Amino acid sequence: MGMTMSVSLDEDRSSPAVFTALLGATLFRYASMELLRRRKLAQFVEVGEVAGISLYPIKSTHGWSLQSADCTPLGIQHDGVTDRHLLVTQADGTFLTMRKEPRMTLIKTEVQDDFLLFNAPGMETLRLPKEQSVNSKNLRRCRIWDDNVKVVDSGEEASHWFSSFMNKVGLRLMYYAPGIPKREAISQRKPWEHKAQPGDRAAFADFAAYMIASTDSLDVLNQNLSTAVSIRNFRPNIVVSGNGAFKEETWSEIRIGDASFRALDLCARCLQTTVNPDTGDKCVKQEPLATLKKLNSNLAYTNKAIFGVNAALDTPGRIHIGDKVYALIA
């Protein structure tokens, strides 16, 4: 009798009626999800167009201005190089930036075939492979903010080059090679809430893989400065024009072509913005930071000066100068 019941149940499960019901439920679920997706897309509004795309091969050094680039989960990518996957560290393994050494902005990187070429005033060109192998001999630990991460040491020639230019003993060039686990934005500690989710990762960027800023915000800031500054003082990856000053702070999601982004938090600014990106000189009056704080500080961000938004990538895609930008307004 038990065997008869088992066969009967199996027959019921495989019957055309059950199959049809399951298929109908699946199609209904898909249709409902597609309807929600289309309704959400309809809520996006055009907010401007892409006016700038930048990639910084080494954190806190001179960047590349691009006409187009691929947006990957770990940042802007061009010619096999991904944003901020190289980092200069001090002898004790802690990261070094323009906050402490403003002349770092004078270090320039270019691609030549399968190599990276590094140049700086008074220095001969340093040539390193674009992709560095990972082995037990070159794996090291370095510290960036609260993270102690495993990275590839670029070797003695690079160490000597950067130490000589910066006139500091023991500097190293570190590479965040593919396959090495990247830093999770959700684990970053801040004095305010952020919207990072599991899987939102970055290499050596302070927090998120993308920073999006606005020329309209820059224009208003410059109208209040005695000496205008460049958008490069703020080192964004994507620059938008035509959206209205500081309106980018209201965006919760952004679409550019096939690429889609999610805003994680506003970008609170520090003294690095006071470094002239062309000369490496730091403004003694702490401009434009001092004026920006008067114009656009935020109490929820401990009253820090705000310029731009940090974002994570949800959908990869290629972006170009002139692309229309759409946003979901929070």
* Residue boundaries of the structural domains of the chain: 45-329
pLDDT digits (tens, 9 = 90+) for 178-204: 999 999 999 999 999 999 999 999 999
* Helix segments in 113-194, DSSP class H: 156-166
Chain CA centroid to CA 93, Å: 22
Report the percentage of the chain scoring pLDDT > 70: 89
Tell me the pLDDT band of 2, cut-offs 50, 70 and 90: very low
Look at residue 229 and tell me whether its pLDDT is greater than 50.
yes
As a whole number, mean pLDDT of residues 272-289 equals: 97
Strand pairing report for 86-89 and 172-175: antiparallel
Q: Which helix (H) or strand (E) holds 45?
A: strand 45-55
Look at residue 32 and tell me whether its pLDDT is greater than 90.
no
Q: Which helix (H) or strand (E) holds 7?
A: helix 2-13
User: Can you tell me the distance from the alpha carbon of 303 to that of 266, in angstroms, rounded to the nearest whole number?
Assistant: 12
Nearest to 225 by CA among 266, 272, 273: 273
Look at residue 42 and tell me whether its pLDDT is greater than 90.
no
User: Could you tell me which CATH number the domain at 45-329 has?
Assistant: 2.40.33.20
Nearest to 128 by CA among 159, 170, 102: 159
pLDDT number for residue 4: 44
Tell me the pLDDT band of 35, cut-offs 50, 70 and 90: low
pLDDT digits (tens, 9 = 90+) for 62-72: 999 999 999 99
Contacts of 90 (CB under 8 A, 6+ apart): 96, 168, 170, 171
- CA triplet 86, 132, 80: central angle to 5 degrees? 70
Look at residue 76 and tell me whether its pLDDT is greater than 60.
yes
At 157 the three-state DSSP class reads helix
As a whole number, mean pLDDT of residues 282-308 equals: 97
